[in-house]
C-alpha cells in the first residue's frame, strides 16, 4: 500500500508541476520577508516574488523585474484593487496582460519582460502572471519589501 501511495503522490506532484503549480513546504515560508497575512510577497533587492496562504508559500520564489531608477516600485503593504486580463496602458502605449493592480497609482503585477525594468510595475513570466492573476483577488494583501 505504501508503494501505491508513493506512486499517487509522485503522479500528483508531476501533474501539478506540469501545470505550473508549485507546492512548497511550510518551512520555505520562513525564507520570505513577508508576514503571514500577505497573499503576495515581493522582495525588490532579490527580484523575487511569492504567492502565499497563511504564511505558507504556494508558488515561488519566482523571478520578477521591477521599477527602474526614477520609477521605483513602492514598498509597503497594499491591497489588490482590481484585475484586468487584457489591460492596455495608454500612458506607456503597451499591453499589460494579466494585470493585478495593487496600488491606487497604477502599479500592478503583470506579464512583461524579465530583462527590462518597468515604470514601477512588477513584470512576471507568462506562466507566473497567469498564476498571480488567478490566485489574487481584490482585497488580498500584497507586501513589497526592499
CATH number where 117 lies: 2.40.440.10
Q: Active-site residue among 34, 41, 121, 123?
A: 121
Q: Considering the domain boundaries, does residue 9 fall inside one? A: no
Kindly state whether residue 15 falls inside one of the protein's structural domains. Answer: no
Angle, CA 138 vertex, CA 136 and CA 143 arms, to 5°: 65
**Which positions ≥6 away from 4 have C-beta within 8 Å?**
none
Is the Cβ–Cβ distance between 46 and 71 less than 8 Å?
no
Q: Looking at the domain assignment, is residue 78 inside a domain?
A: yes
Q: Is 121 a catalytic residue?
A: yes
Candidate list 34, 41, 110, 123, residue with the active-site label:
110
Q: Is residue 106 assigned to a domain?
A: yes
Split into its structural domains, the chain has a count of: 1
pLDDT tens, N- to C-terminus, the chain (146 residues): 444 444 444 444 444 444 454 544 333 345 899 999 999 999 999 999 999 999 999 999 999 999 999 999 999 999 999 999 999 999 999 999 999 999 999 999 999 999 999 999 999 999 999 999 999 999 999 999 99
Structural domain containing residue 38? 24-145
What pTM does this model have?
Answer: 0.79
Q: Looking up cell 522582495, which residue turns up? A: 43
CA distance 127 to 97: 11
Amino acid at each position: 500500500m505504501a508503494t501505491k501511495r508513493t506512486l499517487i503522490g509522485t503522479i500528483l506532484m508531476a501533474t501539478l508541476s506540469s501545470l505550473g503549480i508549485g507546492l512548497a513546504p511550510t518551512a520555505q515560508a520562513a525564507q520570505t520577508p513577508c508576514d503571514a497575512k500577505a497573499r503576495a510577497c515581493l522582495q525588490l533587492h532579490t527580484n523575487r516574488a511569492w504567492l502565499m496562504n497563511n504564511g505558507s508559500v504556494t508558488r515561488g520564489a519566482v523571478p520578477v523585474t521591477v521599477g527602474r531608477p526614477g520609477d521605483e516600485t513602492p514598498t509597503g503593504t497594499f491591497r489588490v484593487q482590481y484585475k484586468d486580463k487584457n489591460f492596455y496602458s495608454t500612458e506607456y502605449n503597451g499591453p499589460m496582460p494579466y494585470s493585478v493592480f495593487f496600488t491606487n497609482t497604477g502599479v500592478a503585477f503583470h506579464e512583461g519582460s524579465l530583462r527590462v525594468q518597468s515604470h514601477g510595475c512588477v513584470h512576471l513570466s507568462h506562466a507566473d502572471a497567469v498564476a498571480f492573476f488567478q490566485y489574487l483577488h481584490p482585497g488580498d494583501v500584497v507586501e513589497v519589501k526592499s
